[in-house]
Amino acid sequence: MSLIQTLQAIQDSDAAQAFLGSRYLYPAVESAHVLGLALSVGLLAIVDLRLIGALMRRQPVSDSLDAFRPWMIAGFALMFVTGAILFWPEAANLYVNSLFRLKMLFTVAALANALSFEFGIGRRAHTWSDPLRPPAAARLAGFASLTSWSLVILFGRWIAYGFGAHP
Amino acid sequence: MSLLPIFEWVAKTPVGVAIAKSTYFFPVVEVLHLLGLSLLLGVVLALDLRLLGVTLRRQSASAVASSLAPAFSIGLIVAVFTGTCLFVGEPLKCFFNEAFWWKMGLLALALATQAVLFRQMTRPKAPVLAAQKAIAVASLSLWFGVGVAGRVIGFI
């Protein structure tokens, strides 16, 4: 069975379609996915704006990194779990949706950027020569993060309008 | 007196008609609304967590409040402006949508709570009192309610 056939079988399964048609469960998961933005992208935006020097300039960058890291990880865990559940009853439709592919592309790019920051220059945040002004690479990572997550939100919202669907 | 005539008038204004007719206005403005509310709710969450004493303890509550105030204002301005644009495009749908009225009521309460919270937090060296923690919990609950009600508008 090819990938698209497998996805179609997942999408057509009784459980998936019952979930999609549920009166409260589907809207609840979808709302959790949208409101999880506050925990994930909202807190991330504060850290990114701190990195690029647009916010909290008098406080060390490592303070906001350390303070929000566990909350952001919880927020992104919520986004990925609810996102996977929402994918399930529309697996095949989304797989061929061009905006969904773009959303996944920028999600991967944003994650790669976050991981390279966390295990690279961000890990040494406590020893940056100037705790108030991050090195250029860290500022660039903050800018890349803001841009890619904003695009993820853009494509994600537009999928729900039916844009990008396969003809 | 009913507000309905006002809502009907808004729907008939040239701006209202143009927004309602446009194909791309809603998708674009709604994304900006989401970006604005992400920032706004992120700041609210950060402030409330600090006031509850669970994070950012290395900095005083007043330092956190004053440094995050600009981001709160920007998020709020973006969310309210884009929200108003969305409203102008479909005032009658809003008028007959119960969730819309819940959202506006909760928003008014959330904004009032936030004003009290900022005032509390910017007092120099204010100790974290039980009352402040209660305000933080109220703020979180009210903003969460605004978000849920906002989402429910689309489901009704």
* Residues in CB range of B118: below 8 A, 6 or more apart: B65, B69
Assigned domain for A165 exists:
no
Q: Scanning every residue of chain B, which has its alpha carbon at the shortest distance from the alpha carbon of A56?
A: B67
The SS3 of residue B97 is coil
A89 lies in a domain? yes
Q: Which residues have C-beta within 8 Å of that of residue B54, sequence separation ≥ 6?
A: none
Under an 8 A CB cutoff, do B46 and A43 touch?
Answer: yes
How far B13 CA sits from the closest chain A CA (Å)? 26
The pLDDT tens digits of the residues spanning A143-162 come to: 999 999 999 999 999 998 98
d(C-alpha B4, C-alpha A99), whole Å = 39
Is the pLDDT at B107 greater than 90, yes or no? yes
Where do the domains of chain B lie? 4-151
Question: What is the token pair recorded at A114?
Answer: 């976050």
What would the mean pLDDT of B50-66 be, rounded to a whole number? 88
According to the model, what pLDDT value does residue A124 have?
A: 86
A88-120 pLDDT, tens digit per residue, is 999 999 999 999 999 999 999 999 999 999 999
The encoded tokens of residue A138 equal 């860290």
The alpha-carbon gap from B10 to the nearest alpha carbon of chain A, in Å, equals 25
Q: Supply the range of the domain harboring residue A18.
A: 3-159
What is the pTM assigned to this prediction? 0.93
| Position A167 in a domain | no
Mutate: best of B23, B28, B37, B38, partner A, most A CBs <10 A: B38
Paired tokens of A129: 């020569």
Let me know how long chain B is.
156
**The pLDDT value given to residue A14:** 95
Domain contains A166: no
Count structural domains, chain A: 1
The H or E element that residue A86 is part of is helix A61-87
Across the interface, whether the CB atoms of B43 and A64 are under 8 A apart is answered no
Q: Within 10 Å of residue B3's Cβ, how many Cβ atoms? A: 9
What's the complex ipTM? Answer: 0.91
Q: Is residue A145 part of a domain?
A: yes
Q: What is the pLDDT of residues A22-63, one digit of tens each?
A: 999 999 999 999 999 888 999 999 999 999 999 988 889 999
Nearest-5° angle of CA B69, CA B72, CA B75?
150
**Which pLDDT band holds residue A167 (cuts at 50, 70, 90)?**
low
Distance CA B99, CA B90 (A): 14
